[in-house]
Amino acid sequence: SDYEQLGYNLRVNLFQGGPLKSRSLVRDSYTPDVFQKAVIDPRHWHGRKISELGRWYEKYFLDRNVQKAMKEKYG
């Protein structure tokens, strides 16, 4: 009987998966026009702008990659 009870518990679908339509607090809190008017700017996300130090690092690594490519190509 313990074996049958274990089999029954394994056959029952206890974990039915997530909901077919997901919901989020942000989507429920704002009207759809807020999302349509939103402009995605890669330089300005979450109210923060990339600092001068971040721009310096971007230029620095770009320069290093160019130098590395030049060295591989021309020796």
Q: Is the pTM of this model over 0.75?
A: no
**The predicted structure's pLDDT at residue 52:** 77
Residue 69 has pLDDT above 80, yes or no: yes
Residue 48 has pLDDT above 80, yes or no: no
- Alpha-carbon distances of 30 from 26, 38, 43, 57, rounded to whole Å: 6, 12, 24, 36
**The predicted structure's pLDDT at residue 51:** 74
Average pLDDT (23-49) is 73
Percent helix, strand and coil across the chain, each to the nearest 5? 60, 5, 35
End-to-end Cα separation, the chain, in angstroms: 78
Closest CA to 70 of 49, 62, 41: 62
Residue 41 has pLDDT above 90, yes or no: no
